[in-house]
């Protein structure tokens, strides 16, 4: 995510009205092409209207196309979607091909997609399959048969060894070594 | 904004002119420009936002084309006259008649969707109920049917298939009840234009598909789950249920948690937890009901 996206409204990918579960409904409901009949900046729009518009309307009977000629104003495409969104596109000095591409984009998207930062490329309504955690969720089965009070279970899990314990262990080790030495000496004496 | 559009365009031209005639002594933008713009902005703020207008009041609006595209968009072949009739509200038709009388015009009488509404309502609820009862027991099927045929749900669907702009009514913005009624009328119109099977397919695709990703046990909410469970098990020959407190944790604190299991003849029926024993018992009962109904549906399918 770059800095320019920081102030965009964040959101998730969402389908309106479970579109496509039953049948697919194109979400663009009407498109208004505004243009000037004489201005040079509307030239591409005029060419599009002359060459491609009839075919577009024939191929997409579900989209209502309106033409709105206005004197000396920039060419505009205004797309209205079924969920109430309106996308407004400035087409100043656009060529015919550019306009074809933009209209194709407007036709295939499901809403006004500008101004939203997609937080993640996936989304789920049910993030947890196991359900909420409770104190009994990952309980050790061994606890079912334990009898309380239990000395082992009563001690803390991670108890550091005290210096006294270490001393006791050292002392025991020393004793053992001494015992071994004595035994060795006895064994040597016996063989001799 | 349209009120000030000409003024703004004149201003913009002035500003552009000023920028182009740039001399070393004069300012590039005149002293009067900023205060004037500020004053215009202040007046605009004072007036407030423009009220919303219905889409049909715009210059670019062709009702015939809109009605044609409505059917094509949904992939349905509507009879144009019946569809138009389904979109006319009774109040609107009445007012148009009164207006025609006042002006002395002899208009043909406008037929409204008043008769289509109950017909469509019948088609929707009976089809949804039969489809759901194939999969769920009656109580759940009823609850889910109520949810799917509620005014809120039907108006939501109606507004998302583009009916909001097409309805001929006196009110603006269009009320939810009007949207809901018109949707019912459109279903009836589809049945009259084609046949019942096509109307049912339409309901299947637009109404039943709203259940996608939803849990029916969250939509259906029995008021007293434990009582419901005892009644349910009684029908199935299980007379005694024994609730046992399986676990408890932090019982005298705000984070108390109890786990209750429901047993019958040493067999676990359902298990649940909650912040008190009663809540835990109810959640356990809900769990038991779900387990019972799971078996119930598989039994049905096996038959």
Cβ distance A135 to B204 less than 8 Å, yes or no, reads: no
Nearest CB neighbour to B73, from listed A21, A29, A80:
A29
Share of chain B above pLDDT 90, in %: 74
Sign, CA torsion A144/A148/A152/A155: positive
- Please tell me the predicted confidence (pLDDT) of residue B2: 45
Taking CB atoms and an 8 Å cutoff, what residues of chain B touch A136? 246-247, 249, 257, 259, 273
- How far apart CA B91 and CA B174 sit, in angstroms, is 13
pLDDT confidence bin for B15, thresholds 50/70/90: low
B244 touches chain A (CB under 8 A): no
Taking CB atoms and an 8 Å cutoff, what residues of chain A touch B74? 23, 25, 62
Q: Is residue A35 part of a domain?
A: yes
Predicted TM-score of the model (pTM): 0.82
pLDDT score of B244 more than 80: yes
SS3 content of chain B, % helix, strand, coil (to 5): 60, 10, 30
pLDDT score of B163 more than 90: yes
Domain that holds residue A70: 25-113
Share of chain B above pLDDT 70, in %: 88
Q: Is residue A120 part of a domain?
A: no
Q: Where are the domains of chain B?
A: 2-47, 63-216, 222-302
ipTM for this prediction: 0.81
- Please tell me the predicted confidence (pLDDT) of residue A152: 83
- Which residue reads 């009949």 in tokens? A37
B73 touches chain A (CB under 8 A): yes
- How far apart CA A189 and CA A175 sit, in angstroms, is 21
Mean pLDDT along residues A49-77? 97
pLDDT confidence bin for A4, thresholds 50/70/90: confident
Beta strands A9-11 and A116-118, pairing class: parallel
Cβ distance B212 to A21 less than 8 Å, yes or no, reads: yes
Cβ distance A62 to B72 less than 8 Å, yes or no, reads: yes
Q: Is residue A188 part of a domain?
A: no
Average pLDDT of chain B is: 89
Nearest to B203 by CA among B127, B98, B297, B287: B127
Is residue B146 packed enough to be buried (19+ CB in 10 Å), middle (13-18) or exposed (0-12)? middle
Cβ distance A139 to B247 less than 8 Å, yes or no, reads: yes
Cβ distance A29 to B208 less than 8 Å, yes or no, reads: no
| Secondary-structure class of domain B222-302 per CATH | alpha beta
Domain count, chain A: 1
Cβ contact B234:B251 at 8 Å = no
Nearest to B157 by CA among B204, B93, B194: B204
B contact test, residue of A15, A21, A57, A67 with most B CBs within 10 A: A21
- How far apart CA A184 and CA A179 sit, in angstroms, is 9
- What is the DSSP code (8-state) at residue B50? P
Cβ contact A31:A49 at 8 Å = no
Mean pLDDT along residues B224-233? 94
pLDDT confidence bin for B296, thresholds 50/70/90: low
- How far apart CA A84 and CA B146 sit, in angstroms, is 27
- Which residues of B, range 111-170, sit inside 8 Å of A by Cβ? 156-157, 159-162, 164
The residue among A24 and B17 whose pLDDT is bigger is A24
Coil, strand or helix at A133: coil
pLDDT score of B282 more than 90: yes
The residue among B110 and A48 whose pLDDT is bigger is A48
pLDDT score of B245 more than 90: yes
pLDDT score of B12 more than 70: no
- How far apart CA A43 and CA A38 sit, in angstroms, is 8
Could you read off the pLDDT of A75-85 as tens digits, one per residue? Answer: 999 999 999 99
The residue among B288 and A2 whose pLDDT is bigger is B288
Length of chain B in terms of residues written = 303
Beta strands A76-81 and A86-90, pairing class: antiparallel
Cβ distance A139 to B210 less than 8 Å, yes or no, reads: no
Could you read off the pLDDT of B108-145 as tens digits, one per residue? Answer: 777 899 999 999 999 999 999 999 999 899 999 999 99
Q: What is the dihedral of CA B157, B159, B161, B167, to 10 degrees?
A: 120
End-to-end CA distance of chain B: 68
- Please tell me the predicted confidence (pLDDT) of residue A143: 86
Nearest to A60 by CA among A8, A107, A99: A107
- Which residue reads 């000629």 in tokens? A69
Q: What is B63-216's CATH superfamily?
A: Ribonuclease III domain (1.10.1520.10)
Nearest to A52 by CA among A96, A107, A112, A113: A96
Q: Is residue A9 part of a domain?
A: no
User: What CATH number did the domain enclosing A82 receive?
Assistant: 3.40.30.10
Distance from CA of A134 to the nearest CA of B (A): 8
Beta strands in A5-85 (DSSP E): 9-11, 28-35, 64-69, 76-81
Q: Is residue A18 part of a domain?
A: no
Helices (H), A1-124: 43-51, 53-59, 96-108
């Amino acid at each position: 995510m770059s800095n320019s996206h920081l102030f965009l409204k964040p959101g998730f990918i969402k389908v309106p009205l479970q579109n496509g579960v039953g049948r697919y409904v194109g979400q663009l409901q009407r498109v208004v092409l505004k243009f000037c009949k004489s201005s040079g900046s509307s030239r591409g729009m005029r060419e599009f209207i002359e060459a491609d518009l009839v075919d577009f309307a024939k191929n997409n009977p579900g989209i209502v196309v309106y033409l709105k000629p206005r004197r000396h104003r920039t060419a505009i495409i205004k797309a209205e979607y079924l969920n109430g969104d309106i996308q407004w596109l400035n087409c100043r000095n656009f060529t015919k091909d550019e306009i074809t591409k933009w209209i194709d984009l407007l036709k295939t998207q499901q809403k006004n997609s500008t101004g939203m930062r997609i937080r993640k490329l996936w989304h789920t309504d049910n993030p947890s399959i196991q359900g909420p955690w409770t104190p009994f969720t990952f309980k050790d089965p061994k606890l079912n048969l334990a009898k309380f009070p239990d000395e082992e279970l009563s001690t803390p899990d991670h108890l550091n060894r005290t210096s006294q314990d270490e001393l006791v262990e050292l002392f025991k080790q020393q004793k053992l070594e001494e015992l071994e030495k004595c035994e060795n000496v006895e064994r040597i004496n016996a063989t001799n | 904004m349209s009120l000030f559009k000409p003024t703004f365009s004149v201003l913009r031209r002035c500003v552009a002119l000023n920028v182009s005639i740039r001399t070393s002594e004069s300012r590039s933008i005149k002293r009067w420009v900023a205060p004037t713009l500020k004053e215009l902005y202040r007046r605009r703020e004072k007036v407030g936002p423009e009220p919303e207008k219905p889409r049909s009041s715009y210059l670019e609006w062709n009702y015939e084309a809109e009605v044609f595209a409505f059917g094509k968009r949904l992939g349905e072949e509507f009879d144009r006259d019946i569809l138009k009739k389904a979109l006319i509200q009774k109040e609107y038709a009445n007012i148009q008649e009164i207006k025609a009388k006042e002006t002395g015009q002899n208009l043909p009488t406008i037929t409204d969707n008043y008769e289509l509404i109950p017909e469509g309502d019948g088609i929707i609820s009976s089809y949804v109920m039969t489809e759901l009862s194939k999969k769920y027991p009656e109580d759940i099927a009823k609850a889910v049917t109520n949810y799917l045929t509620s005014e809120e749900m039907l108006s939501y669907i109606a507004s998302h298939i583009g009916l909001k702009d097409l309805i001929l009514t006196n009110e603006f913005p269009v009320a939810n009840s009007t949207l809901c009624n018109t949707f019912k009328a459109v279903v009836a119109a589809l049945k009259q234009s084609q046949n019942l099977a096509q109307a049912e397919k339409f309901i299947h695709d637009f109404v039943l598909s709203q259940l996608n990703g939803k849990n029916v046990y969250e939509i259906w909410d029995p008021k007293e789950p434990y009582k419901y469970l005892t009644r349910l098990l009684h029908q199935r020959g299980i007379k005694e249920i024994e609730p046992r407190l399986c676990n408890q944790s932090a019982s005298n604190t705000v984070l108390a948690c109890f786990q209750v299991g429901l047993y019958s003849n040493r067999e676990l029926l359902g298990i649940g937890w909650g912040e008190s024993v009663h809540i835990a018992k109810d959640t356990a009962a809900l769990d038991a009901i779900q387990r019972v109904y799971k078996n119930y549906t598989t039994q049905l399918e096996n038959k």
